Amino acid sequence: MGGKVQWEGLVCSVQPRIRLTRSFDERSHTYLGYVLRVNGLADGQADEFLVAIGRAAQEKHRFRIGDRIQGASESVADARLESASYYKTSGLKLTQRQAEPADDSPPYSGVAPALEVYRERGHRRLQPAVYGKSCMPCIWGCRMPVEIIIDHWNPDRRKYRFETFCYGPKSCRFYRAGPTRKVPGRKGMTWEEEDWVDEEATAHRD
């Protein structure tokens, strides 16, 4: 398997793998696939780790919480651009299937939908502490790597960070927006992403 790490374990969450690019008040999303949180062994060591997979792999296997899986992956080359530790996965195998949960209450643990569904639904910002406490197992949660172009006249000036979002029902009892996000720009300027941005992004659904 070359320089790949062999791993296996229990799926603890399946969330979309989406990268966000910001340039002051503009933003765009890159829909890369899915991120699996796995509790098991990586390189023979007990660990909980995140594995990035492509959209085709998720469409084929329909991974969900409780499945046992295995594979071999490379360590991520640039940790600023991925929320996972591993990617470029091969030999992905489902070794034990978990039944789909009957319970439909948050955090939602069914099969994660197609990436087009996330795109169509739009997201609201999600307080990082709430994500860490309640939303990590939820198919509607997402921790995105964010690449910020500080100056579009000098696009090499970039900053990186992570932001958490919710694509789920607006009625979810766990949801908290948290403080508004600020995006640095050229000449020390700052764009504040106010509540109306989230309202507009999700106005088409209840």
Q: Which is nearer to ligand SF4, 73 or 83 (CB)?
A: 83
Find the binder of ligand SF4 among 166, 183, 185, 198 (CB under 6 A): 166
Residue 47 vs residues 9, 37, 113, 201: alpha-carbon distances, Å: 9, 10, 27, 37
Helix, strand or coil, per DSSP, at residue 201? helix
- Give me the amino acid identity at 52: A
Q: Is 51 in the site for ligand SF4 (CB under 6 A)?
A: no
Tokens coding 105: 């209450």
**Spatial distance between the Cα atoms of 23 and 149, rounded to a whole number of angstroms:** 5
Find the binder of ligand SF4 among 16, 40, 71, 106 (CB under 6 A): 106
Query: Taking contact as CB under 6 A, which single stretch among the options 44-52, 61-69, 165-173, 195-203 is the one that binds ligand SF4?
Result: 165-173
Q: Is 135 in the site for ligand SF4 (CB under 6 A)?
A: yes
Cα distance from N-terminal residue to C-terminal residue, the chain: 47
Q: Is 118 in the site for ligand SF4 (CB under 6 A)?
A: no
Positions in the binding site for ligand SF4 (CB under 6 A): 106-108, 134-135, 138, 140-141, 166, 168-169, 172, 174-175
